[in-house]
Amino acid sequence: MLSKKTQYALKALGYLAAKYGEGPVLISEIALQKKIPIKFLETILLELKQNNILDSKKGTGGGYYLLQPPKKTTLAQAIRLVGGPIALLPCVSINFYEKCEDCDEAICGLNKAMRITRDATLKILEKKTLAELIDGR
């Protein structure tokens, strides 16, 4: 299961994807529409900005907006930036790999099963983009 933080990030990105090209969107608007605690959302959006997925404008008429068209960012990228691992186990994670202390990965049955699972998941998440998060598509 994805963390709340990641879930919120995906919802916010979907909201911004739907409004792409319409100028900055208020944090408060996203928080209200997607039912996200506003202070928590602040930190999430800031993190996404620092990772060059979003940009922002201060002051009147300010807010957040996607730096690139929705199709340019995959769900796999988005999840990894804020939420961390996509794989079910550390020992089969690509970006958050940790070695098992108790097994030889070359012959470990659990490792093998989870690697296959991860590949199936990634195949989907690396193809889908923020554009797919827009409702009714």
- Under the binding rule (CB under 8 A), the answer on residue 2 touching a second copy is yes
Residue 125: strand, helix, or coil: helix
**Angle at 68 (CA atoms; ends 66, 73), nearest 5 degrees:** 95
- Under the binding rule (CB under 8 A), the answer on residue 108 touching a second copy is yes
Binding partner selected for residue 49 from DNA, a second copy, none, CB under the kind-specific 5 to 8 Å limit: DNA
Can you tell me the distance from the alpha carbon of 53 to that of 30, in angstroms, rounded to the nearest whole number?
16
CB of 37 to DNA, least distance (A): 3
Q: Which H or E run contains 58?
A: none
Q: Give the amino acid at 114.
A: M
Cα separation values, 36 from 69, 75, 89, 95, 122, Å? 24, 19, 28, 27, 27
Binding partner selected for residue 81 from a second copy, DNA, none, CB under the kind-specific 5 to 8 Å limit: none
Return the range that interacts with a second copy (CB under 8 A); candidates 21-29, 37-45, 58-66, 108-116.
108-116
CB of 62 to a second copy, least distance (A): 23
CB-neighbour burial class of residue 53 (10 A; exposed 0-12, middle 13-18, buried 19+):
buried
Binding partner selected for residue 43 from a second copy, DNA, none, CB under the kind-specific 5 to 8 Å limit: DNA
Residues near DNA (CB under 7 A), total: 27
Contact footprint for DNA (CB under 7 A): 3-5, 8, 24-28, 37, 39-40, 42-43, 45-46, 49, 56-64, 84
